[in-house]
Amino acid sequence: RATSENEPMRAYAPSMGQIFLRRFQLVTQFRSALENGQISVHYQPKIALPSRQVIGAESLVRWKHPEFGRVDPDEFIPAVEATGLVDVLTDFVMDKGLERVRRWMDRDLRMSIAVNLSVRTLADEEFPDRVKEALDRHRVPPELLTFELTESGVMADPERALPVLRRLHTMGVVLAVDDFGTGYSSLAYLRQLPVDEVKIDKSFVLGMGTDLGDMAVVRSIVELGHSLGLTVVAEGVEDDAARDQLVGMGCDVAQGYLISRPLSEERFEAWLRARTVQ
Ligand code: C2E
Ligand code: CA
Ligand code: CA
Ligand code: CA
């Protein structure tokens, strides 16, 4: 955090040097952290509306750092993204996710897994081959794998991202636009992208109960998404009121603390059993 000249220095504010050092450490320690199990993947369920049936989960990475404690993905992913290592992370998360899908299939559960893609991965023309290889290896059909991409990620380099997206889409993998509504060229570009799903940014869903503007944004994204033939997902669903409003608007899928927080592999499986075997 930068300190302005007329603001007194606070003892706890890390200096620029400390911030830089921490970021440097996160980048240089990332690969070994992956190898020695400090990085894990948590899963947050998604349910269909209005049935509330569990249809899948989003993969969210966690880093338990020996010195810093829990480090949020919002901090280490941008740091790692600047290096080639983010591809290693994507492959790790995809592999774990497909392994889960395979186990569910073996129990006759048809649920999909969503993996977040970084800007870097979208520019990698070999990525679709790795996806194909991973799907084959785990014997998972492509429609049970979803990639979530942000608008800024695609727009960073559309010339390179589009061919990659088209290939993934042709393979039958599901593509979702994440954090929808936060960018500025949303409407115009949504039609040009080979996507199947829009995910309404949680800031609008969280604000829906108290802010009529947020409510209007959510409603119009649901309508826009449906008019383009897309599945509409709301994230950040924290209470019954929000869920009921989304059902009323015709939103297709909900994800958020109301349903469950992101859970470790073991806890997700326990949650699933408790929910389905009753
Ligand atoms: P995201 O893709 O927008 O993920 C949703 C974030 O919202 C997650 O934060 C999740 O824990 C949080 N969330 C879920 N439900 C609720 C709710 O009801 N209320 C509130 N207030 N928050 C909710 P998280 O896990 O800290 O992840 C932050 C971001 O890090 C993700 O945002 C995603 O952009 C990125 N990320 C996480 N895992 C990966 C990954 O494997 N690869 C890449 N490239 N990015 C990842
Ligand atoms: Ca996401
Ligand atoms: Ca999001
Ligand atoms: Ca986000």
Q: How confident is the model at residue 186 (pLDDT cuts 50, 70, 90)?
A: low
Residue whose CA lies nearest to ligand 1 atom number 8:
60
Distance from residue 259's CA to the centre of ligand 1 (Å)? 15
Q: pLDDT for 115-171, tens place per residue?
A: 999 888 998 999 999 999 999 999 999 999 999 998 777 877 888 899 999 999 999
Distance from residue 6's CA to the centre of ligand 2 (Å)? 39
Instruction: Determine whether the shortest distance from the Cβ of 252 to ligand 1 is under 6 A.
Output: no
Q: How confident is the model at residue 8 (pLDDT cuts 50, 70, 90)?
A: low
Q: pLDDT for 207-245, tens place per residue?
A: 999 999 999 999 999 999 999 999 999 999 999 999 999
Q: What is the mean pLDDT of residues 250-269?
A: 98
Average pLDDT, whole number, for the chain? 91
Closest atom of ligand 1 to 41 CA is 41
Distance from residue 209's CA to the centre of ligand 4 (Å)? 20
Does 3 have pLDDT greater than 60?
Answer: no
Distance CA 140, CA 142 (A): 6
Instruction: Determine whether the shortest distance from the Cβ of 238 to ligand 1 is under 6 A.
Output: yes
Percentage of the chain with pLDDT > 90? 76
Q: pLDDT for 82-121, tens place per residue?
A: 888 899 999 999 999 999 999 999 999 999 999 999 888 9
Instruction: Determine whether the shortest distance from the Cβ of 179 to ligand 1 is under 6 A.
Output: yes
Instruction: Determine whether the shortest distance from the Cβ of 77 to ligand 1 is under 6 A.
Output: yes
The predicted pLDDT at position 157 comes to 81
The ligand placed nearest to the CA atom of residue 153 is: 1
The ligand placed nearest to the CA atom of residue 118 is: 1
The predicted pLDDT at position 207 comes to 97
Q: Which of 34, 60, 88 to mutate to test the pocket of ligand 1 (most atoms within 8 A of CB)?
A: 60
Q: How confident is the model at residue 1 (pLDDT cuts 50, 70, 90)?
A: very low
The predicted pLDDT at position 11 comes to 61
Task: Look at residues 228, 160, 141 and name the one whose alpha carbon lies nearest to residue 192.
Answer: 228
Distance CA 46, CA 49 (A): 10
The predicted pLDDT at position 17 comes to 83
Give this complex's ipTM: 0.97
Q: Per mean pLDDT, which range of 38-42, 61-65, 76-80, 174-178 is the poorest? A: 76-80
Write out the DSSP string of the chain: ----TTSPPPTTSPPHHHHHHHHHHHHHHHHHHHHTT-EEEEEEEEEETTT--EEEEEEEEEEEETTTEEE-HHHHHHHHHTSTHHHHHHHHHHHHHHHHHHHHHHTT---EEEEE--HHHHT-TTHHHHHHHHHHHHT--GGGEEEEEEHHHHHTSHHHHHHHHHHHHHHT-EEEEEEETSSSSHHHHHTTS--SEEEE-HHHHHHTTT-HHHHHHHHHHHHHHHHTT-EEEE----SHHHHHHHHHHT--EE-STTT---B-HHHHHHHHHHHH--
